């Protein structure tokens, strides 16, 4: 994935279970790993970023531009009762990372120019 998207400079990885092993195994060949240690449950993390969605501050590409969008949105809407939650978990980790002042946040105008919906 790092080769597919070379402009991604940070890779957030939960520093527990398999995440620790991933960081350890790949850190010498892939740069930009940022260990994340969650302190709350998945449900609590999702609840804490819900206001961003409600306020229209989470931008999701049009499904005509990104064919993965319907599955992604379905997983978000089915959480926590859905059979999968990996994308929900990574979304909440990223939004919390941004909320804490890390990473790059684009303005609404920049996202509109990039043809994303909100």
DSSP per-residue letters across 64-92: TT-TTHHHHHHHHHHTTTSS--HHHHHHH
Q: Which domain holds residue 21?
A: 1-37
Q: Is 80 found in the same domain as 99?
A: yes
| SS3 call for 4 | coil
Q: What is the pLDDT of residue 105?
A: 58
Q: pTM score, two decimals?
A: 0.76
Q: Is 61 found in the same domain as 9?
A: no
Q: Is 68 found in the same domain as 111?
A: yes
Q: Say how many domains are in the chain.
A: 2
Q: What is the pLDDT of residue 75?
A: 97
d(CA 72, CA 29): 29
For residue 12, list its beta bridge partners.
Answer: 34
Residues 6+ apart with CB under 8 A from 99: 49, 52
Q: Is 68 found in the same domain as 107?
A: yes
Q: Is 96 found in the same domain as 52?
A: yes
Q: What is the pLDDT of residue 112?
A: 63
Q: What is the pLDDT of residue 17?
A: 81
* Positions of the chain with pLDDT lower than 70, given as ranges: 102-118
Q: Is 4 found in the same domain as 50?
A: no
Q: What is the pLDDT of residue 114?
A: 58
Q: Is 30 found in the same domain as 4?
A: yes
Q: Is 94 found in the same domain as 61?
A: yes
For residue 61, list its beta bridge partners.
Answer: 116
Q: Is 108 found in the same domain as 93?
A: yes
Q: Is 85 found in the same domain as 29?
A: no
Q: Is 84 found in the same domain as 112?
A: yes
Q: Is 47 found in the same domain as 33?
A: no
Residue 118 contacts residue 108 (beta carbons within 8 Å): yes
d(CA 23, CA 15): 8
Residue indicated by tokens 């961003």: 52
Q: What is the pLDDT of residue 25?
A: 92
């Amino acid at each position: 994935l790092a080769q597919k998207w070379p402009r991604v400079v940070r890779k957030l990885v939960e520093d527990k279970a398999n995440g620790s092993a991933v960081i350890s195994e790949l850190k010498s060949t892939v740069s930009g790993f940022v260990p994340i240690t969650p302190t709350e449950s998945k449900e609590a993390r999702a609840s804490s970023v819900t206001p961003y969605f409600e306020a229209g501050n989470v931008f999701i590409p049009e499904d005509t531009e990104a064919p993965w969008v319907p599955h992604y949105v379905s997983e978000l809407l089915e959480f926590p009762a859905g059979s999968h939650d990996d994308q929900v978990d990574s979304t909440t980790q990223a939004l919390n990372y941004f909320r804490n002042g890390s990473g790059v946040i684009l303005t609404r105008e920049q996202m509109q120019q990039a043809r994303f919906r909100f």
